[in-house]
Amino acid sequence: MNIAIAIDQIPQEPLPSASEAGPAPKRIVVAYGFWIFLLSDIIMFAALFASYAVLVRSTAGGPTGAQLFNQATVAIETACLLFSSYTCGLMSLAVNSRRYFRTYLGALITFVLGAIFLGLEIREFVGMIAIGAAPQRSAFLSAFFTLVGCHGLHVTLGLIWLTVMMVQVAVFGFAARVQHRLLCFSLFWHALDIVWVGVLTVVYLMGVSS
Amino acid sequence: MTETRHERAPGDRPSREIDASAPSEFLVYSIGLFVAALLTATSFWTANTTLLWSGGVVLGLAVLAIAQMGIHLVFFLHISSGPESTNNVLALAFGALIAFVVIAGTMWIVADMNANMMMPPGAPMGMRMQH
């Protein structure tokens, strides 16, 4: 009769720590490894930000940021990237609950918004080069094209990656490895948006306000 | 229950079985979008307004940007202070430290070198070479 009480009184064993629980599931290992890669990518962007901040006054008599930047374009670009980050998050929810239609819809909106961002950025670059503000004009413009162009290159790679992932979803379904890759993609896309917040503030807003 | 033993993957939310009081994921993303949009709009207003002291605009923009990066990390990347996310936060802290050292260190060193290259007007060119 007292056995039940005795069992109740046995102290609950605490959960073993992470090191005692054996290897972590692959999803965690994959995402953590990609997290490390993203942080190293952000350190690379930090170097580009540093060179931009050093060279921003070195216009060599050429056009300055305040003369070149169009805030309306930048506002649309920012809105596109922020909203695509949101739809990317909704897509990863659909992936976790294994819903095909919502996944495709989220991926499509994310892709279209990313493509609009990229189109606006390329139009801005082409317009700047057309009026003689090419990368070789001044150190400021070299640093500008390197920093913003590197971010644009990341967005381009992200769009290609997203297309490949949708093909993989169509072919393999929600296999575990496809889900791991989609988790990495959403981390990548959110990290790009964080970098863009820095670009927007340091390059465009500080460029026109000072 | 086995999930609590491991760290959480970055970008993953705690599952609803473990923490039933956690808000729905859709709500988390929506709050993040709303706050981020608000901060972005404030940044654009700060850069263009004449109401603020112009010397403080740059500092204000930097604060708004850092706040928005924090919003993105918490609401979109689901970085939390919980014990299951320690590894992610430690890696992030290390990355942020390196990024800070690279940016602040570069600007400091180059500004210092620029200041040292400035010659006082009328000084002989070889003055700094003499010991």
Nearest CB to A54 within list B26, B57, B110: B110
Positions in chain A short of pLDDT 50: 1
Q: DSSP secondary-structure letter at B77?
A: S
Angle between helices B57-71 and B25-48 (to 10 degrees): 170
For residues B88 and A32, is the Cβ–Cβ distance under 8 A?
Answer: yes
Report the half-sphere exposure of A56 (CA within 13 A, side-chain side). Answer: 18
Q: Which residues 64-83 of B are in CB contact (within 8 Å) with A?
A: 64-65, 68-69, 72-73, 76-77
pTM: 0.86
Of A100, A151, A106, A149, the residue nearest A128 (C-alpha) = A149
Planar angle of CA B118, B121, B126, nearest 5 degrees: 70
Long-range contact set of residues B117-122: C-beta below 8 Å, sequence gap at least 24: none
Q: Given pLDDT bands bounded at 50, 70 and 90, which one contains residue B129?
A: very low
Average pLDDT, chain B: 83
Per-residue pLDDT averaged across B31-53, rounded? 92
Contacts of B72 in chain A (CB under 8 A): 85, 190, 193-194, 197
- Residue ranges per domain, chain B? 8-110
Q: Which residue has the tokens 């491991």?
A: B6
Q: Is B108 on the interface with A (CB under 8 A)?
A: no
- Residue ranges per domain, chain A? 31-55+69-209
Q: Which residues 22-41 of A are in CB contact (within 8 Å) with B?
A: 24-25, 27-28, 30-32, 34-36, 39-40
Nearest CB to A89 within list B46, B76, B92: B76
Q: Is A76 on the interface with B (CB under 8 A)?
A: no
Query: What confidence tens digit (pLDDT) does each residue in A34-72 have?
Result: 999 999 999 999 999 999 999 998 888 889 888 999 999
For A40, which residue in chain B has the nearest alpha carbon?
B95
CA B23 to chain centre: 25
For position A45, what pLDDT does the model report? 97
Contacts of A17 in chain B (CB under 8 A): 5
pLDDT of B73 > 50? The answer is yes
Q: How far is A32 from chain B (nearest CA, A)?
A: 6
ipTM comes to 0.84
Query: What confidence tens digit (pLDDT) does each residue in B82-92 have?
Result: 777 888 999 99
Angle between helices A100-130 and A71-96 (to 10 degrees): 160
What dotted CATH number matches A31-55+69-209?
Answer: 1.20.120.80
